[in-house]
Amino acid sequence: MKAELRWLGPDMQFEGKTESGQTVKLDSTKDKAAAIGASPVEMVLQALGGCTAMDVVSILQKMRRTIKSLTLEIDAKRREEYPRIFTQIHILYKLTSPDAAEHELARAIKLSEEKYCSVSGMLRPAVEITTSYELRRA
């Protein structure tokens, strides 16, 4: 796997390009209103959320469950000293489905956490990651 990162200047704005040709903007400028993208640390949270959300959708689809919506709310805490790594991350999964059972959603989340999500696997040795969920009917 390869990636490319190019400085856009004049501040802390970059454009990343993946091996598959996708681009993403990264930005750590002080003026958040002028930012053109997420900070690298924010991207880590997005990557974690995207990784586990894709797993959960895939697993529930294999169970032939209907997914009307899935939203993840991710809350993270970082240490004060540098490097300001994450110490705790909590993910709240909000699934709307007319036919998924709570135990099926819980199983999908557990499989993602313990087996499939590569981002979680990279973070978990150093970060306490907890989860909860809400299941709503369509």
pLDDT at 9: 85
Q: Domains of the chain: which residue ranges?
A: 3-34, 40-136
pLDDT tens, residue by residue, 22-56 = 999 999 988 888 889 999 999 999 999 999 999 99
Task: Please tell me the pTM assigned to this model.
Answer: 0.92
DSSP state of 40: H
In angstroms, what CA-CA distances link 31 with 13, 16, 92?
12, 20, 29
| Structural domain 40-136, CATH architecture | 2-Layer Sandwich (3.30)
> pLDDT tens across 88-112, in order?
999 999 999 999 999 999 999 999 9
**Average pLDDT of the residues in 74-79:** 98
How deeply is 58 buried, as exposed, middle or buried, from its count of CB atoms within 10 A (0-12, 13-18, 19+)? middle
Q: Is the dihedral of CA 41, 44, 45, 46 positive or negative?
A: positive
CA distance 75 to 68: 23
Burial of 32 from C-beta contacts in 10 A (0-12 / 13-18 / 19+): exposed
- 59: its two tokens: 């697993």
Share of the chain above pLDDT 90, in %: 91
- Residue 83's identity, in one-letter code, is P
